[in-house]
Chains A and B, each alone.
Chain A
Amino acid sequence: MCNDPNKNSQLSIASNDLLARDASCVGFQRFHRRRLLQSVAAVSGAGWLTGLAEKLARSAELSHSKRPKSLLVLWLQGGPSQLETFDPHPGSWIGGEAKAISTSIPNVQISDFLPATAEQMHHACLVRSLVSKEGDHERATYHVKTGWRPDPTLFHPSIGAILCHQSESNVEIPRHISILSGEWPARGGYLGPSFDAFQIGDPAKGIPNLKARVDEATLARRSGPLLRTLETEFQRGRLRDMDRTRTQHQAATDSALTMMTSPQLSAFDIDAEGGETKDRFGDTSFGRGCLAAIRLLETGVRCVEVELNGWDSHINNHALQMGRAEILDAALAATLQELHARDMLDDTIVYCGGEFGRTPQINPAGGRDHWPHGFSALLAGGGFRRGYVHGATVAKPEHEWFDKKQSIDPTRFAEQPVTIPDLHATLLNALGVDHTQEQMTPVGRPLRWSDGKVATDLLS
């Protein structure tokens, strides 16, 4: 199952960071807590802690390049307009009212809706030529999150689920998390629901269902002797070894109980960050989600998805995109800045994009419709090139190219196109997962993680 060369020492990024540097006071607190636990374990003979302490100690020995890679998905649900974000064409008949501004990459401009992001673009690898074959929100979301087009015979795992499947568990909290999850959060697909993203809302409101509704003693009695009485009776005479081989009910209950009291839950608590840091992310649920995501990745979570919805601007495109971009701008710029400052950018890959883009032409309601034939996504971190722009869309397409009576020829709109399967193959490769590795699926068909090709141009 584990394909990662570091599988025997899959350790929390937080621990690595923590022991390798001393910049974060949060890290120091956790470090001291762990050291304390280790000491207590040694003194008290709490053997179960020793393993954890050993892992932490080993993590310090890992070199930077050996750290496991993690993924941060900033998911822009609804279809952000490439023309109002990363691929403006001011002055063209398709350009709308957005202007272009300079960025920290020479000769590269993005929309004036993203001024803070423009200053952080030297960290980014910008793809302006994504192409897809799905124009429906649900199907396109599935396509971009899994790398596969919807197939009624098979439910594909999202990339975060694959990443978790390909590494060992190193934390007491879920390793795949979706913050502000909307209708279609990342799922485990055929890998099973245990690889589904754990969903939470605005981090300021805490984690749902984590707090017991009764006092500690009552919970212990309920989940101990009372539950045990029922489980013993239910298992009597039924399927041999049912909890291990079939239901996994008790194992999941134990994991849930462990999580409820885990010190790692502090990763969700953004109040532990300084006020200035929080301010930079913006006083929005998305901004708070991005900050929480960084803390979770520091702790060892492998994939966090943070969703910003509301991009579906069929009417009044300009104002709608501007409003969403304002929220995105602060959070995205701060995320790149903070990952860099915390020395996490080498080990964390950021993907920022939606399920498709929006039409070059503006409709009579002042809106832009769905457009999968050339749209943008921002990548950063890991092995992705920095300060690089890949592909382009046509700035001045002919009006007749959009004539509905003709079938639109998507090849006209994007130069150096990158397909969604290719994007996935590239991401998996950058995350240290061999995308050609085949898995036996529940339908009895061996299948690669991705059937795309690695877009080597995007990698350094």
Chain B
Amino acid sequence: MAYNEVLYGSSTHAAIQLKSASQSTAMPSIAPDTDPPVATQLSASPKRRRGKRLLMCVAVLVALAVVSTTLNSRPMIEEREVAELAALRSAPDFQQTLATVNQQLAEMAAAAGVETAERADNLTIARRLSLALVGNGMSLEELRAFESKPTQEQLTWWTDYLLTDSRWTDYFAERFSRALVGTDNGPFVLFRRRKLNAWLSEQLASGVGYDQIVHEMLSAEGLWTDTPPVNFVTATMDEANEGRGDPIRLAGRTSRALLAQRIDCVQCHDDFIGSLNFGSLDHPVAGTQEHFHSLAAFYAGTALADPVFRGITDDGQPYRIKYLGDSEESLVEPAVPFLPELLPTEGKLRARLAAWVTDPGNRAFGRATVNRVWGLMFSRPLVDPVDSIPIDMSVPKVLDTLADDWSKHGFQIARLVRMIAACDAFQRDSRADFEVTEQHEQAWSVFPLTQLRPDQVVGNLLQASKLSAMDSSSSVFRRLEAYGSKQDFLQLFGDRGEDEFESEAVTITQRLIMMNGELAANRTGVDLINNAATRIATLVADDQNAIELIFLTTFNRHPTASETAAFGKELSGKTADERKRALSDIAWAMVNSTEFSWNH
């Protein structure tokens, strides 16, 4: 896309393209977000000078060749895919489920006796989608492509566009792996987080059902390097466990991350306060230590093979535990805490457990996953906390409707994302002409105001300073720089670890990092290479347009009249460096505002 099209928008392009065939001459023609140019030198001797120039040319060509090999084309949606996706969305079962979800959301608001906010504008919804699926806001380039679509097609196009981009599978893989293996470094040699994440991402990108993904992880055998799903168990093989998986931790992970059952409390004692019921309201079955340890017993044989190059295997070791009050250990047979009829009678232990967890009849699996994906989309799960949905609990009907649809359609995470993105709750405004309270948010009658996770804050900061998207089409240098900046930022800013949906207050440290930190300063200061605000100040003479552009790049919205007026005064009468500094001040204020760090 031509630079001027990015800045001013165009109605001619149908999709984002990496390069434009023509460059407008009306504005200076510099490429968006280029890497710094190589400096040249002059020498005294004409012969040596020629030689040096030649060498320099070769070096530049080699550098360009290297950079070009790292550039992938922007995700393009093929015509065939467009047709398929349109068919998917217009299919009666998709529309029917969506209508049911919307009806149930309306009933929820009515039952709470609260008013419902209007639908938000398309750009606001698009920003939410971008934050949820790739962890940062939209680039100006993406935004221009979005605006070039007919209004009624914008959101479906944008959803499809993001779900065709590898950024979303990478991003979701990281989110899922946090729940599945935590954020600890894990055993140095035996655990390879990047392998696990890359594998998860590939599975999602290939459209493998989440039931199959989970089945693979729970039952995998082999080496942690060439069989990535086995890292689910090796993550627990620390020194204290001496080459064995930790059945206690694995049982806890399985129950919480995959079934949203917090049964850890019955690890040490039976449930004596009635908080854990594995039966129903009519026929309660209180949680006991046996429930927990019978589940753990499925993992008792998980161990390093002998010889070790065979990786992880199952050596059939029995599971023993001394129950509270007993004087001797008991042998514990593997068993599941509920729905025993779904457990296959044949097969290896972990494979049987995997089949039980992912059985379409095991509603806990569907509820747990839908609740987590809903949480990722809204930064707040439907049922809080995300990993606790007791099986006898009365849950919002929406949860079961979505879970049923998801399991009937191949456990496809992408379908679930599309469904949630299209539902009324996701598209409602976070502001209203009535007084918005916590009660409205609880009933999903307004979009909830939620704090961005630290990775989203830094993602936003990096993206807001660029005009084009930071994606797989960016040069390897830009991506490396962004990766390094992100890690440095998160080290200081803090990372929520696996508690991604815990609501937390902003800290003084975080505010100092945003106000005075190096990354924030670089990305808001006067800098033609790193800062979109400076580029805008340089290329856009009209103050109102400049303000408009900086709002679009930073907040993904148009400024209000009062904002245009207030910031117009800041720019009024200023030229050259003074004007760049004024726009830098505005950019600083924007990244330090509540709006920048909160989803809305």
| Chain A residues engaging chain B, CB cutoff 8 angstroms | 133-136, 138-139, 150-153, 155, 174, 192-194, 196, 198-199, 208-214, 218, 221-223, 225-227, 229-231, 233-240, 242-243, 245-250, 252-253, 255-256, 259-260, 369-370, 404, 442-443, 445
In the complex, chain B residues 549-600 whose Cβ is within 8 Å of any chain A Cβ:
560, 562-563, 566-567, 570, 585-586, 588-590, 592-595, 597-598, 600
Q: Does B182 contact A (CB under 8 A)?
A: yes
Q: Does B498 contact A (CB under 8 A)?
A: yes
Q: Which residues of A contact B238 (CB under 8 A)?
A: 135-136, 139
Q: Are A213 and B521 in contact (CB under 8 A)?
A: yes
Contact partner of B562 (CB less than 8 A), chosen from A139, A193, A233, is A233
Q: Are A226 and B570 in contact (CB under 8 A)?
A: yes
Instruction: Select from chain A the residue with minimum beta-carbon distance to B433.
Output: A237
Instruction: Select from chain B the residue with minimum beta-carbon distance to A372.
Output: B240
Q: Are A255 and B589 in contact (CB under 8 A)?
A: no
CB distance from A193 to the nearest CB of B (A): 5
Can you show 15 pairs from A to B with CB atoms below 8 A apart? Answer: A135-B238, A135-B240, A151-B264, A193-B504, A193-B505, A199-B492, A199-B509, A209-B509, A209-B513, A222-B589, A238-B436, A247-B451, A247-B506, A252-B506, A370-B239
Q: Which residues of B contact A133 (CB under 8 A)?
A: 240
User: What CA separation (Å) do A292 and B586 show in the bound complex?
Assistant: 37
Q: Which residues of A contact B69 (CB under 8 A)?
A: none
Q: Are B511 and A256 in contact (CB under 8 A)?
A: yes
Q: Are B595 and A230 in contact (CB under 8 A)?
A: yes
Contact partner of B449 (CB less than 8 A), chosen from A139, A194, A210, A246, is A246
Q: Does B252 contact A (CB under 8 A)?
A: yes
Q: Are A193 and B507 in contact (CB under 8 A)?
A: yes
**Contact of A404 with B242 at beta-carbon distance under 8 Å, contacts A230-B595, A238-B600 already known:** yes
Q: Are A213 and B505 in contact (CB under 8 A)?
A: no
**Contact of A238 with B449 at beta-carbon distance under 8 Å, contacts A152-B256, A192-B504, A248-B505 already known:** yes
Q: Does B253 contact A (CB under 8 A)?
A: yes
Range, interface on chain B: 35 or more
CB distance from B556 to the nearest CB of A (A): 14
User: What CA separation (Å) do A345 and B515 show in the bound complex?
Assistant: 38
Q: Are B506 and A248 in contact (CB under 8 A)?
A: yes
Q: Are A253 and B585 in contact (CB under 8 A)?
A: no
**Contact of A230 with B593 at beta-carbon distance under 8 Å, contacts A213-B525, A240-B437, A247-B598 already known:** yes
The 5 A-B residue pairs with the shortest CB-CB distance, nearest first, are A237-B431, A226-B589, A256-B511, A135-B240, A136-B238
Extra contacts, 20 of them, besides A139-B238, A199-B492 (Cβ < 8 A), are A135-B238, A136-B240, A138-B185, A155-B497, A192-B504, A211-B516, A222-B592, A223-B592, A227-B593, A229-B567, A233-B562, A235-B594, A238-B600, A239-B449, A240-B436, A247-B451, A247-B505, A253-B515, A256-B512, A442-B385
Map CB proximity to A onto B365-395 as digits: 1 under 8 Å, 0 otherwise: 0000000000000000000010110000000
Q: How many A-B residue pairs have CB under 8 A?
A: 176
Q: Are A259 and B431 in contact (CB under 8 A)?
A: no
Q: Are B449 and A174 in contact (CB under 8 A)?
A: no
Q: Which residues of A contact B438 (CB under 8 A)?
A: 239, 245
Q: Are B504 and A152 in contact (CB under 8 A)?
A: no
Q: Which residues of A contact B388 (CB under 8 A)?
A: 443
| Chain B residues engaging chain A, CB cutoff 8 angstroms | 182, 184-185, 187, 238-240, 242, 249, 252-253, 256, 262, 264-265, 385, 387-388, 430-433, 435-438, 441, 449, 451, 492, 494, 497-499, 502, 504-513, 515-517, 521, 525, 560, 562-563, 566-567, 570, 585-586, 588-590, 592-595, 597-598, 600
Q: Are A212 and B586 in contact (CB under 8 A)?
A: no
Q: Which residues of B contact A135 (CB under 8 A)?
A: 238-240
CB distance from A274 to the nearest CB of B (A): 30
Q: Are A229 and B435 in contact (CB under 8 A)?
A: no
Q: Which residues of A contact B562 (CB under 8 A)?
A: 229, 233
Q: Which residues of A contact B598 (CB under 8 A)?
A: 247, 249
User: What CA separation (Å) do A255 and B256 show in the bound complex?
Assistant: 38
Q: Are A239 and B497 in contact (CB under 8 A)?
A: no
**Contact of A238 with B508 at beta-carbon distance under 8 Å, contacts A213-B525, A229-B566, A404-B242 already known:** no
**Contact of A152 with B264 at beta-carbon distance under 8 Å, contacts A227-B593, A237-B436 already known:** yes
Q: Which residues of A contact B560 (CB under 8 A)?
A: 233
Between B387, B502, B505, B567, the greatest number of chain A beta carbons within 10 A of the residue's beta carbon is seen for B505
Instruction: Select from chain A the residue with minimum beta-carbon distance to B264.
Output: A153
User: What CA separation (Å) do A150 and B182 show in the bound complex?
Assistant: 11
CB distance from A163 to the nearest CB of B (A): 17
Between B441, B593, B595, B597, the greatest number of chain A beta carbons within 10 A of the residue's beta carbon is seen for B593
Instruction: Select from chain B the residue with minimum beta-carbon distance to A187.
Output: B494
**Contact of A152 with B513 at beta-carbon distance under 8 Å, contacts A196-B494, A237-B432, A252-B506 already known:** no
User: What CA separation (Å) do A268 and B448 show in the bound complex?
Assistant: 41
CB distance from B137 to the nearest CB of A (A): 15
Contact partner of B492 (CB less than 8 A), chosen from A139, A208, A260, A369, is A208
User: What CA separation (Å) do A103 and B157 show in the bound complex?
Assistant: 76
CB distance from A26 to the nearest CB of B (A): 25
Q: Are B505 and A252 in contact (CB under 8 A)?
A: yes
**Contact of A210 with B512 at beta-carbon distance under 8 Å, contacts A152-B256, A196-B494, A226-B586 already known:** yes
Q: Which residues of A contact B431 (CB under 8 A)?
A: 236-238
Between A196, A225, A230, A253, the greatest number of chain B beta carbons within 10 A of the residue's beta carbon is seen for A230
**Contact of A134 with B585 at beta-carbon distance under 8 Å, contacts A152-B253, A194-B505 already known:** no
Q: Which residues of A contact B385 (CB under 8 A)?
A: 442-443
CB distance from A67 to the nearest CB of B (A): 25
User: What CA separation (Å) do A59 and B506 show in the bound complex?
Assistant: 31
**Contact of A247 with B594 at beta-carbon distance under 8 Å, contacts A199-B492, A209-B512, A230-B563 already known:** yes
User: What CA separation (Å) do A136 and B256 show in the bound complex?
Assistant: 23
Q: Which residues of B contact A370 (CB under 8 A)?
A: 239
User: What CA separation (Å) do A246 and B451 show in the bound complex?
Assistant: 9
Q: Which residues of B contact A152 (CB under 8 A)?
A: 182, 249, 252-253, 256, 264, 498
Q: Are B262 and A252 in contact (CB under 8 A)?
A: no
Q: Which residues of B contact A252 (CB under 8 A)?
A: 505-508, 510-511
Instruction: Select from chain A the residue with minimum beta-carbon distance to B450.
Output: A246
User: What CA separation (Å) do A139 and B185 show in the bound complex?
Assistant: 10
Contact partner of B436 (CB less than 8 A), chosen from A155, A198, A209, A239, is A239
Contact partner of B511 (CB less than 8 A), chosen from A136, A242, A243, A255, is A255
Instruction: Select from chain A the residue with minimum beta-carbon distance to B560.
Output: A233
Q: Which residues of B contact A249 (CB under 8 A)?
A: 506, 593-594, 597-598
Instruction: Select from chain B the residue with minimum beta-carbon distance to A213.
Output: B521
Contact partner of B589 (CB less than 8 A), chosen from A136, A139, A230, A248, is A230
CB distance from B490 to the nearest CB of A (A): 12
Q: Which residues of B contact A442 (CB under 8 A)?
A: 385, 502
Contact partner of B239 (CB less than 8 A), chosen from A136, A214, A231, A245, is A136
Instruction: Select from chain B the residue with minimum beta-carbon distance to A250.
Output: B594
